[in-house]
Protein backbone atom coordinates (compact mmCIF):
# COMPACT_ATOMS: atom_id res chain seq x y z
CA UNK A 1 0.00 0.00 0.00
CA UNK A 2 1.32 3.42 -0.82
CA UNK A 3 1.70 5.83 2.03
CA UNK A 4 0.45 8.78 0.06
CA UNK A 5 -1.70 11.08 2.16
CA UNK A 6 -5.39 11.04 1.17
CA UNK A 7 -7.63 13.59 2.84
CA UNK A 8 -11.16 14.69 2.14
CA UNK A 9 -13.63 17.47 2.69
CA UNK A 10 -17.06 15.96 3.28
CA UNK A 11 -19.67 18.69 3.47
CA UNK A 12 -23.40 18.16 3.73
CA UNK A 13 -25.10 20.51 1.25
CA UNK A 14 -27.68 21.88 3.64
CA UNK A 15 -26.86 25.60 3.76
CA UNK A 16 -24.39 28.09 2.41
CA UNK A 17 -20.66 27.38 2.67
CA UNK A 18 -19.70 28.63 6.12
CA UNK A 19 -16.21 29.93 6.97
CA UNK A 20 -15.87 27.04 9.41
CA UNK A 21 -16.45 24.57 6.58
CA UNK A 22 -14.17 26.51 4.26
CA UNK A 23 -11.42 26.48 6.89
CA UNK A 24 -11.82 22.69 7.24
CA UNK A 25 -11.60 22.33 3.47
CA UNK A 26 -8.56 24.60 3.40
CA UNK A 27 -6.67 22.70 6.11
CA UNK A 28 -7.28 19.42 4.28
CA UNK A 29 -6.22 20.97 0.99
CA UNK A 30 -3.08 22.48 2.56
CA UNK A 31 -2.15 19.15 4.07
CA UNK A 32 -2.64 17.36 0.76
CA UNK A 33 -0.61 19.93 -1.15
CA UNK A 34 2.09 20.05 1.52
CA UNK A 35 2.58 16.28 1.43
CA UNK A 36 2.01 15.73 -2.27
CA UNK A 37 -1.15 13.85 -1.33
CA UNK A 38 -4.66 13.66 -2.73
CA UNK A 39 -7.55 15.94 -1.80
CA UNK A 40 -10.99 14.36 -2.19
CA UNK A 41 -14.31 16.18 -2.20
CA UNK A 42 -17.18 14.00 -1.07
CA UNK A 43 -20.72 15.26 -0.85
CA UNK A 44 -22.57 13.85 2.16
CA UNK A 45 -26.05 14.19 0.79
CA UNK A 46 -27.92 11.35 2.44
CA UNK A 47 -30.35 13.72 4.14
CA UNK A 48 -32.65 14.30 1.17
CA UNK A 49 -35.03 16.53 3.06
CA UNK A 50 -32.33 19.06 3.96
CA UNK A 51 -30.13 19.07 0.85
CA UNK A 52 -30.50 21.76 -1.77
CA UNK A 53 -28.92 22.29 -5.17
CA UNK A 54 -28.15 25.88 -4.22
CA UNK A 55 -26.15 24.68 -1.22
CA UNK A 56 -24.26 22.22 -3.41
CA UNK A 57 -23.47 24.96 -5.89
CA UNK A 58 -22.29 27.24 -3.08
CA UNK A 59 -19.80 24.55 -2.02
CA UNK A 60 -18.37 24.19 -5.52
CA UNK A 61 -18.31 27.95 -6.15
CA UNK A 62 -16.81 28.78 -2.77
CA UNK A 63 -14.06 26.20 -3.04
CA UNK A 64 -13.19 27.23 -6.57
CA UNK A 65 -13.15 30.88 -5.62
CA UNK A 66 -10.76 30.13 -2.75
CA UNK A 67 -8.57 28.12 -5.10
CA UNK A 68 -9.17 24.81 -3.32
CA UNK A 69 -9.04 22.46 -6.27
CA UNK A 70 -9.90 18.83 -5.55
CA UNK A 71 -8.19 15.86 -7.17
CA UNK A 72 -11.13 13.48 -6.83
CA UNK A 73 -14.79 14.28 -6.48
CA UNK A 74 -17.70 15.79 -8.39
CA UNK A 75 -16.58 17.07 -11.82
CA UNK A 76 -13.04 15.83 -11.18
CA UNK A 77 -13.91 12.11 -11.16
CA UNK A 78 -11.57 9.53 -9.65
CA UNK A 79 -11.23 5.82 -8.95
CA UNK A 80 -13.29 5.79 -5.78
CA UNK A 81 -16.48 7.44 -6.93
CA UNK A 82 -19.26 8.21 -7.17
CA UNK A 83 -18.48 11.05 -4.78
CA UNK A 84 -22.08 11.74 -3.82
CA UNK A 85 -23.31 9.58 -0.96
CA UNK A 86 -26.76 9.57 -2.52
CA UNK A 87 -25.28 7.48 -5.36
CA UNK A 88 -23.50 4.90 -3.23
CA UNK A 89 -26.40 2.76 -2.06
CA UNK A 90 -24.83 -0.52 -3.29
CA UNK A 91 -21.63 0.15 -1.34
CA UNK A 92 -23.52 0.80 1.89
CA UNK A 93 -25.63 -2.32 1.42
CA UNK A 94 -22.51 -4.42 1.00
CA UNK A 95 -21.00 -3.15 4.27
CA UNK A 96 -24.34 -3.41 6.01
CA UNK A 97 -24.68 -7.08 5.03
CA UNK A 98 -21.15 -7.77 6.19
CA UNK A 99 -21.75 -6.24 9.61
CA UNK A 100 -25.02 -8.10 9.88
CA UNK A 101 -23.44 -11.43 8.92
CA UNK A 102 -20.68 -10.87 11.45
CA UNK A 103 -23.22 -10.35 14.22
CA UNK A 104 -22.69 -6.64 14.88
CA UNK A 105 -26.23 -5.52 14.08
CA UNK A 106 -29.66 -6.08 15.48
CA UNK A 107 -33.07 -4.86 14.48
CA UNK A 108 -34.93 -2.48 16.73
CA UNK A 109 -38.37 -1.32 15.65
CA UNK A 110 -37.48 -1.58 11.96
CA UNK A 111 -34.24 0.34 12.40
CA UNK A 112 -30.83 -1.30 12.64
CA UNK A 113 -28.45 -0.76 15.50
CA UNK A 114 -24.78 -1.42 15.85
CA UNK A 115 -23.65 -3.19 19.04
CA UNK A 116 -20.84 -1.26 20.65
CA UNK A 117 -18.03 -3.18 22.25
CA UNK A 118 -18.34 -2.25 25.92
CA UNK A 119 -14.90 -0.87 26.61
CA UNK A 120 -12.75 2.19 26.84
CA UNK A 121 -11.80 3.79 23.53
CA UNK A 122 -8.52 5.65 23.39
CA UNK A 123 -7.98 8.18 20.65
CA UNK A 124 -4.66 9.65 19.66
CA UNK A 125 -5.80 12.82 18.01
CA UNK A 126 -3.36 14.76 15.85
CA UNK A 127 -4.54 18.03 17.38
CA UNK A 128 -6.17 17.17 20.70
CA UNK A 129 -3.73 14.48 21.74
CA UNK A 130 -4.83 11.49 23.83
CA UNK A 131 -8.57 11.42 24.47
CA UNK A 132 -10.28 8.58 26.31
CA UNK A 133 -13.94 7.75 26.16
CA UNK A 134 -15.37 5.01 28.29
CA UNK A 135 -18.08 3.26 26.31
CA UNK A 136 -18.62 0.53 28.87
CA UNK A 137 -22.09 1.65 29.83
CA UNK A 138 -25.12 1.38 27.65
CA UNK A 139 -26.82 4.16 29.63
CA UNK A 140 -24.26 6.75 28.54
CA UNK A 141 -23.43 5.19 25.17
CA UNK A 142 -26.46 3.37 23.81
CA UNK A 143 -25.92 1.23 20.73
CA UNK A 144 -26.11 3.45 17.69
CA UNK A 145 -28.59 3.32 14.88
CA UNK A 146 -26.88 3.01 11.52
CA UNK A 147 -29.97 2.50 9.38
CA UNK A 148 -33.37 4.05 9.89
CA UNK A 149 -36.59 2.10 9.58
CA UNK A 150 -37.24 3.84 6.24
CA UNK A 151 -33.98 2.37 4.93
CA UNK A 152 -32.08 5.66 5.14
CA UNK A 153 -28.46 5.57 6.32
CA UNK A 154 -27.14 7.34 9.39
CA UNK A 155 -24.18 9.70 9.05
CA UNK A 156 -21.75 7.68 11.23
CA UNK A 157 -22.06 4.59 9.09
CA UNK A 158 -21.76 6.11 5.62
CA UNK A 159 -19.00 8.45 6.78
CA UNK A 160 -16.89 5.48 7.93
CA UNK A 161 -17.71 3.30 4.93
CA UNK A 162 -16.67 6.06 2.56
CA UNK A 163 -13.49 6.85 4.44
CA UNK A 164 -12.61 3.18 4.05
CA UNK A 165 -13.62 2.94 0.40
CA UNK A 166 -11.91 6.19 -0.50
CA UNK A 167 -8.72 5.10 1.27
CA UNK A 168 -8.66 8.17 3.50
CA UNK A 169 -5.49 8.31 5.59
CA UNK A 170 -6.18 11.47 7.63
CA UNK A 171 -9.50 12.92 8.75
CA UNK A 172 -9.18 16.61 9.53
CA UNK A 173 -12.51 17.96 10.68
CA UNK A 174 -14.21 20.30 13.13
CA UNK A 175 -14.02 19.40 16.80
CA UNK A 176 -17.80 19.19 16.93
CA UNK A 177 -17.10 15.70 15.58
CA UNK A 178 -14.67 14.69 18.33
CA UNK A 179 -17.43 12.96 20.28
CA UNK A 180 -18.41 10.95 17.18
CA UNK A 181 -14.96 9.55 16.66
CA UNK A 182 -15.12 6.72 19.27
CA UNK A 183 -18.23 5.48 17.49
CA UNK A 184 -16.43 5.65 14.18
CA UNK A 185 -13.44 3.78 15.59
CA UNK A 186 -15.76 1.01 16.74
CA UNK A 187 -17.10 0.64 13.22
CA UNK A 188 -13.56 0.44 11.82
CA UNK A 189 -12.75 -2.26 14.33
CA UNK A 190 -15.85 -4.28 13.52
CA UNK A 191 -15.03 -4.03 9.82
CA UNK A 192 -11.45 -5.09 10.44
CA UNK A 193 -9.96 -1.96 8.89
CA UNK A 194 -7.15 0.20 10.24
CA UNK A 195 -8.70 3.63 10.91
CA UNK A 196 -7.29 6.87 9.52
CA UNK A 197 -5.52 9.35 11.78
CA UNK A 198 -7.94 11.94 13.12
CA UNK A 199 -7.25 15.61 13.77
CA UNK A 200 -10.05 17.72 15.21
CA UNK A 201 -9.62 21.39 14.55
CA UNK A 202 -10.81 24.06 17.00
CA UNK A 203 -14.03 25.99 16.96
CA UNK A 204 -14.17 29.48 15.50
CA UNK A 205 -15.40 32.15 17.92
CA UNK A 206 -16.24 35.82 17.59
CA UNK A 207 -13.88 38.27 19.31
CA UNK A 208 -16.36 38.50 22.22
CA UNK A 209 -16.14 34.75 22.74
CA UNK A 210 -19.58 33.95 21.34
CA UNK A 211 -20.02 31.21 18.80
CA UNK A 212 -20.11 32.40 15.19
CA UNK A 213 -23.55 32.30 13.72
CA UNK A 214 -25.15 32.76 10.33
CA UNK A 215 -25.89 36.37 11.16
CA UNK A 216 -22.28 37.35 11.76
CA UNK A 217 -20.65 39.40 9.02
CA UNK A 218 -18.40 37.21 6.92
CA UNK A 219 -19.86 33.90 8.02
CA UNK A 220 -20.60 32.83 4.42
CA UNK A 221 -17.80 32.41 1.89
CA UNK A 222 -19.88 34.04 -0.84
CA UNK A 223 -19.90 37.27 1.16
CA UNK A 224 -16.17 37.81 0.58
CA UNK A 225 -16.45 37.72 -3.18
CA UNK A 226 -19.45 40.04 -3.17
CA UNK A 227 -17.71 42.48 -0.86
CA UNK A 228 -14.45 42.94 -2.69
CA UNK A 229 -12.03 40.55 -1.06
CA UNK A 230 -9.16 38.98 -2.97
CA UNK A 231 -9.37 35.18 -2.77
CA UNK A 232 -5.77 34.76 -1.61
CA UNK A 233 -6.32 37.25 1.19
CA UNK A 234 -9.26 35.22 2.46
CA UNK A 235 -7.33 31.96 2.12
CA UNK A 236 -4.47 33.51 4.07
CA UNK A 237 -6.86 34.81 6.72
CA UNK A 238 -8.61 31.43 7.07
CA UNK A 239 -5.30 29.59 7.28
CA UNK A 240 -4.51 31.54 10.45
CA UNK A 241 -7.73 30.46 12.19
CA UNK A 242 -6.15 27.82 14.39
CA UNK A 243 -2.71 27.66 12.85
CA UNK A 244 0.32 29.86 12.42
CA UNK A 245 3.80 29.34 11.07
CA UNK A 246 5.34 30.10 14.50
CA UNK A 247 6.82 33.33 13.21
CA UNK A 248 5.56 36.90 13.32
CA UNK A 249 4.77 36.63 9.66
CA UNK A 250 1.08 36.73 8.78
CA UNK A 251 0.80 37.82 5.17
CA UNK A 252 2.03 34.91 3.09
CA UNK A 253 1.43 33.81 -0.47
CA UNK A 254 -0.54 30.58 -0.68
CA UNK A 255 2.53 28.67 -1.90
CA UNK A 256 4.36 29.62 1.25
CA UNK A 257 1.45 28.56 3.46
CA UNK A 258 1.47 25.21 1.65
CA UNK A 259 5.14 24.74 2.35
CA UNK A 260 4.86 25.70 6.03
CA UNK A 261 1.57 24.03 6.93
CA UNK A 262 1.55 21.17 9.40
CA UNK A 263 -1.40 19.43 11.06
CA UNK A 264 0.61 18.87 14.23
CA UNK A 265 0.97 22.65 14.60
CA UNK A 266 -2.80 23.28 14.68
CA UNK A 267 -3.81 24.88 17.97
CA UNK A 268 -6.15 23.24 20.41
CA UNK A 269 -7.75 26.39 21.68
CA UNK A 270 -10.59 28.08 19.83
CA UNK A 271 -9.69 30.39 16.96
CA UNK A 272 -10.87 33.99 17.07
CA UNK A 273 -12.57 35.31 13.98
CA UNK A 274 -11.94 39.00 13.48
CA UNK A 275 -13.34 40.45 10.28
CA UNK A 276 -11.27 43.62 10.76
CA UNK A 277 -8.15 41.52 10.49
CA UNK A 278 -9.44 40.03 7.26
CA UNK A 279 -9.97 43.53 5.88
CA UNK A 280 -6.47 44.52 6.89
CA UNK A 281 -5.11 41.46 5.17
CA UNK A 282 -7.14 42.19 2.08
CA UNK A 283 -5.60 45.64 1.94
CA UNK A 284 -2.10 44.17 2.21
CA UNK A 285 -2.85 41.94 -0.76
CA UNK A 286 -4.30 44.80 -2.78
CA UNK A 287 -1.15 46.85 -2.17
CA UNK A 288 1.31 44.05 -2.86
CA UNK A 289 -0.14 41.85 -5.57
CA UNK A 290 1.10 42.28 -9.14
CA UNK A 291 -0.87 45.15 -10.65
CA UNK A 292 -1.96 42.98 -13.58
CA UNK A 293 -3.58 40.57 -11.13
CA UNK A 294 -5.25 43.46 -9.33
CA UNK A 295 -6.57 44.72 -12.66
CA UNK A 296 -8.06 41.30 -13.44
CA UNK A 297 -9.89 41.32 -10.09
CA UNK A 298 -11.10 44.90 -10.40
CA UNK A 299 -12.23 44.85 -14.04
CA UNK A 300 -15.47 42.92 -13.51
CA UNK A 301 -16.34 45.23 -10.61
CA UNK A 302 -15.78 48.32 -12.74
CA UNK A 303 -17.75 46.82 -15.62
CA UNK A 304 -20.64 46.20 -13.26
CA UNK A 305 -20.47 49.88 -12.23
CA UNK A 306 -20.57 50.84 -15.93
CA UNK A 307 -17.03 52.17 -15.91
CA UNK A 308 -15.43 51.36 -19.24
CA UNK A 309 -11.71 50.70 -19.02
CA UNK A 310 -8.98 48.96 -20.95
CA UNK A 311 -6.12 47.09 -19.33
CA UNK A 312 -3.74 49.72 -20.68
CA UNK A 313 -5.62 52.70 -19.23
CA UNK A 314 -6.47 50.94 -15.99
CA UNK A 315 -2.96 49.91 -14.92
CA UNK A 316 -1.50 53.39 -14.23
CA UNK A 317 -4.69 54.37 -12.40
CA UNK A 318 -4.48 51.30 -10.16
CA UNK A 319 -0.84 51.99 -9.39
CA UNK A 320 -1.99 55.39 -8.22
CA UNK A 321 -5.01 54.44 -6.11
CA UNK A 322 -4.34 50.89 -4.88
CA UNK A 323 -3.15 52.03 -1.44
CA UNK A 324 -6.53 53.64 -0.84
CA UNK A 325 -8.53 50.48 -1.46
CA UNK A 326 -9.60 48.42 1.51
CA UNK A 327 -11.79 46.31 -0.70
CA UNK A 328 -11.82 45.73 -4.45
CA UNK A 329 -15.36 47.08 -4.41
CA UNK A 330 -14.00 50.45 -3.31
CA UNK A 331 -12.39 50.79 -6.74
CA UNK A 332 -15.29 52.39 -8.68
CA UNK A 333 -15.45 55.46 -6.45
CA UNK A 334 -11.66 55.90 -6.56
CA UNK A 335 -11.20 55.52 -10.28
CA UNK A 336 -14.41 56.67 -11.97
CA UNK A 337 -13.18 60.20 -12.83
CA UNK A 338 -10.29 58.74 -14.80
CA UNK A 339 -12.71 57.09 -17.19
CA UNK A 340 -15.38 59.69 -17.82
CA UNK A 341 -15.47 63.33 -18.80
CA UNK A 342 -18.87 63.68 -17.17
CA UNK A 343 -17.28 64.31 -13.78
CA UNK A 344 -19.86 65.02 -11.13
CA UNK A 345 -18.96 67.61 -8.55
CA UNK A 346 -19.58 66.68 -4.96
CA UNK A 347 -21.84 69.53 -3.71
CA UNK A 348 -20.06 69.64 -0.38
CA UNK A 349 -16.69 69.94 -2.09
CA UNK A 350 -18.03 72.77 -4.24
CA UNK A 351 -19.36 74.58 -1.19
CA UNK A 352 -16.24 74.10 0.88
CA UNK A 353 -13.63 74.71 -1.80
CA UNK A 354 -14.94 76.39 -4.94
CA UNK A 355 -17.12 78.97 -3.19
CA UNK A 356 -14.23 80.17 -1.08
CA UNK A 357 -13.29 83.77 -1.95
CA UNK A 358 -10.47 83.80 -4.48
CA UNK A 359 -10.63 80.07 -5.23
CA UNK A 360 -11.52 80.60 -8.87
CA UNK A 361 -8.83 83.25 -9.31
CA UNK A 362 -6.27 80.82 -8.04
CA UNK A 363 -7.56 78.08 -10.31
CA UNK A 364 -7.35 80.51 -13.23
CA UNK A 365 -3.74 81.32 -12.33
CA UNK A 366 -2.87 77.63 -12.15
CA UNK A 367 -4.64 77.01 -15.44
CA UNK A 368 -2.42 79.62 -17.09
CA UNK A 369 0.74 78.05 -15.66
CA UNK A 370 -0.26 74.48 -16.52
CA UNK A 371 -0.60 75.29 -20.19
CA UNK A 372 3.17 75.13 -20.47
CA UNK A 373 4.36 72.99 -17.54
CA UNK A 374 6.13 69.78 -18.49
CA UNK A 375 3.46 67.17 -17.76
CA UNK A 376 4.85 65.02 -14.98
CA UNK A 377 4.12 64.89 -11.27
CA UNK A 378 7.39 66.51 -10.19
CA UNK A 379 7.06 69.49 -12.52
CA UNK A 380 3.37 69.86 -11.74
CA UNK A 381 4.18 70.12 -8.07
CA UNK A 382 7.00 72.62 -8.57
CA UNK A 383 4.81 74.75 -10.83
CA UNK A 384 1.85 74.74 -8.44
CA UNK A 385 4.02 75.75 -5.49
CA UNK A 386 5.62 78.54 -7.48
CA UNK A 387 2.19 79.80 -8.52
CA UNK A 388 1.04 79.75 -4.88
CA UNK A 389 4.11 81.69 -3.76
CA UNK A 390 3.62 84.23 -6.54
CA UNK A 391 0.01 84.73 -5.44
CA UNK A 392 0.96 84.98 -1.77
CA UNK A 393 -1.27 81.98 -1.06
CA UNK A 394 -0.82 78.73 0.82
CA UNK A 395 -0.14 75.60 -1.23
CA UNK A 396 -3.43 74.12 -0.05
CA UNK A 397 -5.32 77.07 -1.47
CA UNK A 398 -4.11 75.99 -4.91
CA UNK A 399 -4.27 72.24 -4.34
CA UNK A 400 -7.91 72.05 -3.23
CA UNK A 401 -9.56 73.92 -6.11
CA UNK A 402 -7.36 72.04 -8.58
CA UNK A 403 -8.41 68.70 -7.13
CA UNK A 404 -12.11 69.51 -7.03
CA UNK A 405 -11.98 70.87 -10.59
CA UNK A 406 -10.13 67.80 -11.89
CA UNK A 407 -11.89 65.07 -9.94
CA UNK A 408 -15.09 66.51 -8.49
CA UNK A 409 -14.14 65.70 -4.93
CA UNK A 410 -11.83 66.65 -2.07
CA UNK A 411 -10.10 63.33 -1.48
CA UNK A 412 -8.08 61.12 -3.76
CA UNK A 413 -4.60 59.86 -4.52
CA UNK A 414 -1.67 62.28 -4.78
CA UNK A 415 -2.91 65.31 -6.77
CA UNK A 416 0.16 65.68 -8.96
CA UNK A 417 0.17 62.02 -9.94
CA UNK A 418 -3.55 62.16 -10.56
CA UNK A 419 -3.07 65.12 -12.89
CA UNK A 420 -0.19 63.39 -14.62
CA UNK A 421 -2.26 60.29 -15.32
CA UNK A 422 -5.26 62.34 -16.47
CA UNK A 423 -3.10 64.24 -18.97
CA UNK A 424 -2.89 67.92 -19.79
CA UNK A 425 -5.74 68.06 -22.22
CA UNK A 426 -8.32 66.54 -19.90
CA UNK A 427 -7.13 68.51 -16.89
CA UNK A 428 -7.32 71.84 -18.68
CA UNK A 429 -10.76 70.99 -20.09
CA UNK A 430 -11.95 70.20 -16.56
CA UNK A 431 -10.45 73.40 -15.19
CA UNK A 432 -12.29 75.32 -17.91
CA UNK A 433 -15.54 73.58 -17.13
CA UNK A 434 -15.22 74.27 -13.41
CA UNK A 435 -14.33 77.91 -14.03
CA UNK A 436 -17.44 78.31 -16.20
CA UNK A 437 -19.74 76.34 -13.90
CA UNK A 438 -18.78 78.04 -10.64
CA UNK A 439 -18.19 81.58 -11.89
CA UNK A 440 -20.19 84.05 -9.80
Where does this chain touch ligand GLU (CB under 6 A) — which range of 120-128, 170-178, 198-206, 389-397?
A: 170-178
CB of 53 to ligand GLU, least distance (A): 17
Of the residues 177, 352, 364, 424, which one makes contact with ligand GLU according to CB under 6 A: 177
Residue ranges in 294-353 that form contacts with ligand GLU under rule CB under 6 A:
none
Min separation Cβ 43 and ligand GLU, Å: 9
Smallest distance from the beta carbon of 10 to ligand GLU, in angstroms?
Answer: 4
CA nearest neighbour of 184 among 297, 6, 15, 194: 194
Longest dimension (CA), the chain: 101
What residues form DSSP beta bridges with 26? Answer: none
What is the C-alpha to C-alpha distance for residues 7 and 271, in angstroms, rounded to an integer? 22
* Spatial CA neighbour of 277 closest among 229, 316, 310: 229
DSSP category for residue 332: H
Q: How far is 132 from 125, CA to CA, in rounded Å?
A: 10
**Of the listed pieces 5-13, 199-207, 241-249, 381-389, which binds ligand GLU according to CB under 6 A?**
5-13
Nearer to ligand GLU, 11 or 242 (CB): 11
Nearest to 201 by CA among 267, 246, 265: 267
Cβ proximity to ligand GLU: between 159 and 282 the closer is 159
Closest contact distance (angstroms) between CB of 52 and ligand GLU is: 14
| Given 5, 6, 7, 10, the residue binding ligand GLU (CB under 6 A) | 10
Does residue 156 belong to the site contacting ligand GLU (CB under 6 A)?
Answer: no
Contacts of 417 (CB under 8 A, 6+ apart): 320, 377
Q: Are 116 and 186 in contact (CB under 8 A)?
A: yes
| Beta-carbon count within 10 A of 392 CB | 7
Please identify, among the stretches 7-15, 130-138, 215-223, 341-349, the one whose residues bind ligand GLU according to the rule CB under 6 A: 7-15
CB-nearer residue toward ligand GLU: 159 or 235 = 159
Q: Is 159 in the site for ligand GLU (CB under 6 A)?
A: yes
What phi and psi, each to the nearest 5 degrees, are found at residue 172?
-110, 115
Question: Is 79 within 8 Å of 88 (Cβ atoms)?
Answer: no
* 283 lines the binding site for ligand GLU (CB under 6 A): no
Instruction: Tell me the window of 6-14, 136-144, 231-239, 304-312 that interacts with ligand GLU (CB under 6 A).
Output: 6-14
- Binding region for ligand GLU (CB under 6 A) out of 4-12, 120-128, 346-354, 412-420: 4-12
Task: Tell me the closest approach of the beta carbon of residue 147 to ligand GLU, in angstroms.
Answer: 17
Q: Which is nearer to ligand GLU, 42 or 403 (CB)?
A: 42
> Which CB sits closer to ligand GLU, 163 or 367?
163
| Three-state secondary-structure class, residue 147 | strand
Q: How far is the CB of 41 from ligand GLU (least distance, A)?
A: 11
User: Which value, to the nearest 10 degrees, does the dihedral of the CA atoms of residues 154, 157, 162, 163 take?
Assistant: 130
Closest of 263, 279, 368 to residue 325, by C-alpha = 279
Distance of CA 339 to the CA centre of its chain: 30
**Residue 41 bridge partners (DSSP):** 9
- 173 binding ligand GLU? (CB under 6 A): yes
Size of the site for ligand GLU (CB under 6 A): 8
Distance in Å, CB of 163 to ligand GLU, minimum: 8
Stretch 364-383 residues interacting with ligand GLU (CB under 6 A)? none
Q: CA–CA separation, 417 vs 430, rounded Å? A: 16
Is 12 a binding residue for ligand GLU by CB under 6 A? The answer is yes
The burial class, CB within 10 Å (0-12 / 13-18 / 19+), for 274 is middle
Indicate which single residue of 41, 44, 45, 416 sits in contact with ligand GLU (rule: CB under 6 A). 44
Active site residues: 214
**With CB under 6 A as the contact rule, which of the stretches 89-97, 171-179, 212-220, 230-238 interacts with ligand GLU?**
171-179
For residue 46, state whether it binds ligand GLU (rule: CB under 6 A). Answer: no
User: Least distance in Å: CB of 44 to ligand GLU?
Assistant: 4
Nearest alpha-carbon partner for 233 in 286, 276, 273: 286
Query: DSSP code of 194?
Result: P
Pairwise CA distance, residues 79 & 89, whole Å: 17
* The one among 5, 7, 11, 409 contacting ligand GLU by CB under 6 A: 11
Question: Which spans of this chain sit near ligand GLU (rule: CB under 6 A)?
Answer: 10-12, 44, 159, 171, 173, 177
Amino acid sequence: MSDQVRVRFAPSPTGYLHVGGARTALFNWLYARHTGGVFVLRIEDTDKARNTDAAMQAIFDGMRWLGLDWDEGPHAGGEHGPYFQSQREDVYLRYFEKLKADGYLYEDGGAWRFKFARKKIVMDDLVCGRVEVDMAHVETHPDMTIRRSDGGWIFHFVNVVDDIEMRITHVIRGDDHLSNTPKHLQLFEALGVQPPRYGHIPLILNPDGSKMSKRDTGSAVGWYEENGFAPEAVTNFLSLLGWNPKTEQEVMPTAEIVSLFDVAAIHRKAAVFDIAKCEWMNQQYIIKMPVEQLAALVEPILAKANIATTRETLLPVLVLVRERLKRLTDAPSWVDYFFTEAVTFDPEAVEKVMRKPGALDRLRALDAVYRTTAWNAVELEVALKAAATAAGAKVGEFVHPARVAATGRTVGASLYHTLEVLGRERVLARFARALAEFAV
